[in-house]
């Protein structure tokens, strides 16, 4: 039985990363029976079980974990070889795969990408917008915008700026309840919690003068999972919201929201462009890094 091992490795990796044959089939655009058969043929070829199949989930055997790690290295090497042969190290060309948080990507990264595409006609871009931090290697991404402190890793990071964490409310709510003077005053105000930024029941501040962080308990009337929802609810007077400045900047400019407790804002959140450390960068990545860095820095500086 002939087994296309590179294809089978790719299918196996998708199955493991997606958590099921069904999700892998959808991602690959393949019939579900084909995905299951290809993995089964690979196991038969190797004479080893790679996946433990139950009705609820898939898990790797010890042999499967070792084979998946080796497969990932092999497929990365194949991709690298193809990039070299196709000339990605000689001229900027090929597909560039980027990821960013949803609203940041739409408001700030996407305009830069549009200008970049106009300047580099031989490059195409696939932009994945997600508020979940995707894994660059596992998800085969070239570069990511990351908000927040970076964990120690092998990634290379280019700082493009920082962002305020602000508290905002509608003029109607402020007129009805009064503006808080101290973070503790929020305990008596209706609040909207954006759970991806802070805990649902507590927000972080700093005392004027730069002393350490202060955690304040809040009782949200509404808890949401996206920044856009939090900002919209705040404009409607549902409650006070804590969001990143770029989330609400347009609403503040339009007079729909006012910033509160500016003297108590926590430390600014760093923002980076990151990519994997894997030797010389393909020119498509180097070109984008050079093109985007100053433009994004300027956009963030303009926000203040």
Q: Which CATH number do you get for residue 37?
A: 1.10.10.10
Is residue 173 domain-shared with residue 236, that is, in the same domain? Answer: yes
Calpha distance 29→22 (Å, rounded)? 10
Least confident among 31-40, 125-134, 277-286: 277-286
pLDDT, tens digit, 9 for 90 and up, residues 179-227:
999 999 998 899 999 887 766 688 989 888 766 788 899 989 999 988 8
Q: State pLDDT tens for residues 28-42.
A: 888 888 888 888 888
Q: Give the 3-state DSSP-derived string for 248-271, with helices as H, strands as E and coil as C.
A: HHHHHHCCCCEEECHHHCCCCEEE
Sequence-distant (≥ 6) Cβ neighbours of residue 298 within 8 angstroms: none
Q: Bridge-partner residues for 220, per DSSP? A: 191
Question: CA 190 to CA 218: how far, in whole Å?
Answer: 8
Q: Give yes or no: residues 186 and 118 share one domain.
A: no
Residue 140 shares a structural domain with residue 276: yes
Q: In what order do the strands lie in the sheet with 156-163?
A: 123-129, 94-100, 143-147, 269-275, 156-163
For residue 202, the model assigns a pLDDT of 86
Structure tokens belonging to residue 116: 């970049």
160 lies in a domain? no
Spatial separation of the C-alpha atoms in residues 120 and 282, rounded to whole Å: 14
Give residue 253's pLDDT band: very low, low, confident or very high (50, 70, 90).
very high
Q: How far apart are CA 141 and CA 134, in angstroms?
A: 8
CB 46: neighbour CB atoms within 10 A?
Answer: 15
Q: Is the pLDDT of residue 143 over 70?
A: yes
Residue 202 lies inside a defined structural domain of this protein = yes
Where a domain ends, among 264, 279, 294?
264
CB proximity list for 216: less than 8 A, separation 6 or greater: 183, 184, 186, 187, 202, 203, 204, 205
* Claim to verify: residue 143 and residue 204 sit in the same structural domain: no
Classify residue 158: in a domain, yes or no: no
| Helix locations, 138-282, DSSP H | 171-177, 227-235, 245-253
Q: Is 297 in the same domain as 149?
A: yes
Q: In a 3-state reduction of DSSP, which class is residue 240?
A: strand
| Structural domain containing residue 74 | 5-85
Does residue 121 share a domain with residue 100? yes
Q: Which of 85, 118, 141 is the last residue of a domain?
A: 85
Domain count, the chain: 3
Are residues 67 and 199 located together in one domain of the fold? no
Tell me how far apart the alpha carbons of residues 193 and 274 are, in angstroms, rounded to a whole number. 29
Confirm whether 21 is domain-assigned: yes
> Distance between CA atoms of 64 and 59, rounded to whole angstroms?
9
Same domain? 11 vs 80: yes
Query: Strand 213-217 to strand 202-206: parallel, antiparallel, or no bridges (unpaired)?
Result: antiparallel
- CATH code (residue 240): 3.40.190.10
The predicted pLDDT at position 35 comes to 86
Tell which of 28, 59, 85 closes a domain.
Answer: 85
Q: Read out DSSP for 95-139? A: EEEEEE-HHHIIIIIHHHHHHHHHH-TTEEEEEEE-SS---TTTT
d(CA 191, CA 76): 47
Region label for 29, one of left (φ > 0), alpha (ψ between -120 and 50) or beta (otherwise): left
The answer for residues whose C-beta is within 8 angstroms of residue 168's C-beta and 6 or more apart is 231, 234, 240, 241, 243, 248, 251, 252, 257, 258, 259, 260
Say which residues have a Cβ less than 8 Å from residue 29's Cβ, sequence separation at least 6. none
Write the DSSP symbol of residue 10.
Answer: H
pLDDT at 84: 65
From the CA atom positions of the chain, what is the Rg in Å? 24
Q: What is the per-residue pLDDT across 54-96, written as a single tens digit (0 to 9) for each?
A: 767 788 888 888 888 888 888 777 777 776 666 555 677 889 9
């Amino acid at each position: 039985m002939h087994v296309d091992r590179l294809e089978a490795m790719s299918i196996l990796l998708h199955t493991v990363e997606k958590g099921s044959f069904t999700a892998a089939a959808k991602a690959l655009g393949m019939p579900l029976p084909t995905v299951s058969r290809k993995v089964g043929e690979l196991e038969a070829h190797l004479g080893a079980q790679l996946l433990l199949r139950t009705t609820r989930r898939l898990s790797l055997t010890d042999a499967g974990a070792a084979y998946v790690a080796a497969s990932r290295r092999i497929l990365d090497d194949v991709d690298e070889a193809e990039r070299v042969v196709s000339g990605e190290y000689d001229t900027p060309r090929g597909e560039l795969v980027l990821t960013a948080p949803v609203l940041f990507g739409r408001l700030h990264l996407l305009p830069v990408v549009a200008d970049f595409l106009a300047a580099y006609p031989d490059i195409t871009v696939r932009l994945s917008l997600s508020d979940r931090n995707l894994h660059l290697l596992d998800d085969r991404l070239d570069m990511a915008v990351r908000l927040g402190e970076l964990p120690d890793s092998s990634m290379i990071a280019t700082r493009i700026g920082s962002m305020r964490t602000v508290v905002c409310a509608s003029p109607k709510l402020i007129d009805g309840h009064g503006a808080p003077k101290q973070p503790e005053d929020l305990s008596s105000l209706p609040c909207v919690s954006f759970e991806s930024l802070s805990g649902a029941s507590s927000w972080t501040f700093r005392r004027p003068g730069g002393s350490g962080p202060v955690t304040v308990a809040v009782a949200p009337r509404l808890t949401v999972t996206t920044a856009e929802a939090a900002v919209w609810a705040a404009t409607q007077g549902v409650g006070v919201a804590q969001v990143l400045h770029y989330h609400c900047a347009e609403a503040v400019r339009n007079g729909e929201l006012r910033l509160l407790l500016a003297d108590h804002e926590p430390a600014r959140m760093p923002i980076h462009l990151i990519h994997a450390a894997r030797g010389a960068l393909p020119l498509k990545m180097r070109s984008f890094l050079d093109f985007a860095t100053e433009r994004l820095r300027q956009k963030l500086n303009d926000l203040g």
